[in-house]
Amino acid sequence: MKTIKFPEVSQWSVLSKRPSLTESEVNKTVSSILQDVLNEGDVALLELTETLDKCKLSNLQVSRKEFLAAKNKISQKLKTAIQTAFNNIEKFHLSQREVPQRIETTKGVFCWRKSIPIERVGLYIPGGLAPLFSTLLMLGIPAKIAGCKSIAICTPPNKKGDIDPAILYVASLLGIDEIYKVGGAQAIASLAYGTKTIQKVNKIFGPGNQFVTKAKEIVSSEGTAIDMPAGASEVLIIADEEANPEFIAADLLSQAEHGIDSQVVFVTDNINIINCVKHNISKQLLTLPRRDIITKALESTLFILFKSIEECFAFSNQYAPEHLIIALESYEKYVDMITNAGSVFLGQYACESAGDYASGTNHTLPTNAHAKSYSGVSLDSFMKKITFQTITIEGIQNLGPTIEILAEAEKLIAHKNAVTIRLNTINNEK
């Protein structure tokens, strides 16, 4: 854990850089995997699963029997918690539905926009270090609300060839029965290119490690849409001397346990709270089962002391965190300063874990400063927008002359003629 005091603005870009593997190493590995799946389909998927996941499979798709068995493998307590999260996430995403508005832009000219669901989508659900059934809730619920006709799920199996029962239970709740035991970059390849078993999709969703993120980036450049670049998880916390250091330490640790490449950043204008937070991290770490992973992630943790809270916000906007926690009692006065963040948590009790699981907002968010230009997943992510227009005789008479002038100015006479012919026909019929 590094503490940096009063960094100059010129240093901020360096401090905002995320830890990562070398670009050439990731590119080479992922490109090879994508090519193998493109050329060999299911055969490559089975071989890669055996090599990378240490699991020998005979079938890629989860069977009906496995779905039924999963229901009895999780407790009623967990089922109830999942249902509560389901209800909140559904409620929040249902509120995002849009009612089409028919606008008369000129007398007789009517325009509107309609949301159409993407026909077939692929959901990648991480399942290596932790089977993230919560991600299936976050992706599956808006996909269902949107009305996507076909939904495929890819998630890595364990060494026994099984999928975590909570993932299968959530899939059953959603009414999704198309799940494949495929993880990593090879899963992205299967969804993008298609194989004998897995039909290609129109858009791929879901977070993952650097290899998954790179695979999504590559297939996106080849024509398959993706939700966003979503790699290793991250959090930035802004606090002052009045914040609870125990809460802050817990939030930093909860983020660090995602994986060794997670990054946690704490910024403040008070050195005492930095020391208190570090003390609480050391104390809480001893009680956590994933402390080896957390300890590795904490090696790149940054504690940054700034001259003011306003400067903390300025740095945060440059960093553009996936998760931003504002641990300030007076957070309302600072909200308008936030311009770049995936999801924001306001006040002492809005822990990031709430957004990760059950408050209702989506936890599939842009990382690695992509929050400067990307939004998190929402209902709109599963939709495409189509514009419509209709023009009456009165409308073309009113707007037609304007179109003729504009088209002629651009020397596109055929465009002008498409209007002129209509106007002449109307005049001749009078």
**Residue 428: partners with Cβ closer than 8 Å, 6 or more residues away:** none
* Residue 112: count of CB within 10 angstroms of its CB: 13
Q: Is residue 404 a known part of a binding site?
A: no
Contact 111, 103 (CB under 8 A): yes
Q: What does the DSSP 8-state code read for residue 318?
A: H
DSSP secondary structure code for residue 370 in this structure:
G
User: Of 331, 430, 323, 310, whose CA–CA distance to 368 is shortest?
Assistant: 323
95 is in an annotated binding site: no
CA-nearest of 234, 244, 274, 266 to 347 is 244
Token pair of 228 as six digits: 């966003």
Q: Return the structure tokens found at 204.
A: 């791929």
Cβ-based neighbour number of residue 313 at 10 Å: 20
| Contact in structure between 358 and 88 (CB atoms under 8 Å) | yes
Number of other residues whose CB lies within 10 A of the CB of residue 58: 6
The answer to whether 356 is a known ligand-binding residue is yes
- Catalytic residue, candidates 323, 352, 363, 370: 323
Taking a C-beta distance cutoff of 8 angstroms, is the pair 305, 34 a contact?
Answer: no
Q: Which of 234, 257, 322, 404 is catalytic?
A: 322
124 among the known binding-site residues?
Answer: yes
The answer to whether 199 and 151 are in contact (CB under 8 A) is no
DSSP H helices in 148-209: 165-174, 184-193
Q: Per the annotation, does 410 bind a ligand?
A: yes
CA dihedral 171, 166, 379, 359 (to 10 degrees): 150
CA distance to 70, 111, 140, 249, per residue, from 219 (Å) = 33, 34, 22, 38
Judge whether 323 counts as a catalytic residue: yes
- 93 belongs to an annotated ligand binding site: no
Any binding-site annotation on 186? yes
Backbone phi, psi, residue 207, to 5°: -85, 170
CA distance 61 to 195: 12
**Residue 426 vs residues 104, 404, 421, 423: alpha-carbon distances, Å:** 21, 16, 9, 5
Give the C-alpha separation, 265 to 364, whole Å: 19
**Using alpha carbons only, how large is the chain's radius of gyration in Å?**
26
> Helices then strands (H, E): number in the chain?
16, 14
- Tell me: is residue 258 an annotated ligand-binding position: yes
397 is in an annotated binding site: no
> 323 a known binding residue?
yes
Hey, which residues are catalytic here? 322-323
Binding site residue list: 124, 186, 209, 233, 255, 258, 323, 356, 410, 415
Binding site residue list for substrate: 233, 255, 258, 323, 356, 410, 415
Binding site residue list for Zn(2+): 255, 258, 356, 415
